[in-house]
Chain A
Amino acid sequence: MAAAESPSAALRRRDLCSRGIRLAGKMRADVVDLLDAYVEQQGLDASASVAAMEGVPLAAVERWDEQTGTQRLLENLAAYRAFRTLLAQMLEEQREQLGEADAGLGRALAAVLLQVSAFAYHLEELLRLESRGIPGEEGDGPPPPPRLSLFEQKLRGLGVLRELAQWAVRSVRDLRQLGKPSSAAGTAPGLAESP
C-alpha cells in the first residue's frame, strides 16, 4: 500500500506535471513544424509509411489507461533519452550531408534536441519526487545505427520525428494522469470514468 502523499509533495507534483504538460505541448508544436520542414528538405513523401526501426521508441501502447504512474514516468524517460541520442545522430548526419547548406533545418533539429533533453531532465525530477531511483543510462540508448544509405537515413529520420511527435502527445496525457489530485506515481491507475 502506498504511503499517503504529503500536501507539499502533492503540490510539487502537480506543479511539475503542469510545467511538463506545457513543455511537452511546446515540444510537440516544434516537432510538427520540424517534421514538415524535414519532409520538404529531404524530398520525402509526407504520407510515406515507415516501418518500425530498431532503437526508435514506439509511442504506441496497449491498455494505456491501466498503467501506473511509475510505469508512465519510466517509459517516458526511456523514450526521451533514446530520442536525445537519435536526434544527436540526425544532427550529425545532417551536417555531414548538407554542411552549412541547410542551417535552418540544423538549427530546428538542435532546438528540438534541447527541448527533448530538458524534458528528460524534467521527468527525472518527477521520478525523484516520487522517491524513485533514476535508472542509469548505460545500455539505455539505441544501438549505434548500422551503416545506412542516404535514403535509409532520411527515412529513419522521418520515423524518429513522427514517433517523437506521438510521444509528445502521449507525454501530455501521461502527465495529466499523474497530475490528478487523486494520483500518486506508485498507486493504482485511475481508470477513466465512462459515462
Chain B
Amino acid sequence: MAGLELLSDQGYRLDGRKAPELRKVQARMSVFAQADGSAYLEQGNTKALAVVYGPHETRGSRSKSLHDRAVINCQYSMATFSTAERKRRPHGDRKSSEMSLHLKQTFEAAVLTELYPRSQIDIYVKILQADGGNYSACVNAATLALVDAGIPMRDYVCACSAGFVEDTALADLCHAEESGGGTALALALLPRSGNIALLQMDARLHQDHLDALMEAAITACKGLSKVLDGVVRQHLEEVSVLTSD
C-alpha cells in the first residue's frame, strides 16, 4: 500500500472526503415480509442486512431463558462474496463469534428487555459487501430492524468508526484506511444521553490523542443518529400513506 496517502495536504482523503465527513448513508426498512423486523443499510460501499425475530418463546433449551428479562441472541456473518478474496468460513470463526457477542451486549443494554421476561429476541446481521466499518453498519442496521419490529429501546444505537492520521481524526473509515495499519476505533453510542455502549480500538495510539479520536467518533455518531431518525420517520410516512384510505 505504498504511495497511498490517507490524508492529502489539502485535507482530502482517498475517496475525496474531508476528515470529519461521513460516507453516504442509505437505508430501507421492512425489506422482508416474513421477519418481524428487517432493515437494509448502506454506508458508502459497506452493505449490511439485519433481520429481527421476536420477542418469541425461548427456542431450544429452557435453561437459557431468564425469569425477569428477554434473552437477546445475535448472529453476525459475512457473505462469502463480501470481501475481495472469497471468504472460506462465513461464520463460526473467532472474529465472527466475537462480533456476535459484542452486538449482543450492545443491544442488551439498549433494549428494554425487562418488558419481555422468559422470551427471546433474535437479531441476525449479514454483511453483503465489506468496505470498512463492518461493525458500525451492523449496529445501525440492527437498530433500524429493531425499530421496524416495534421492540422498545432506550434510544437509537448509532455506531461509527474513526481513525487517526497525522494528528487529524478521521470519521467513518473505509477499508483502505482501516487496513492501512493506522488506528481504528469503533464506537456505539446512545446519542441522547451520550452513553457509550461499546468501545473497541486496535493498533497503537498515543494516550494524548485518545480524547480527540473519541470526540470525532461521538460527533459522527450523533450525525448518524439524525440520518437514522430521518429514515424511520420517512418509512412511517410511507407506511401510513399506504394503510390509510
Partners in one complex: no
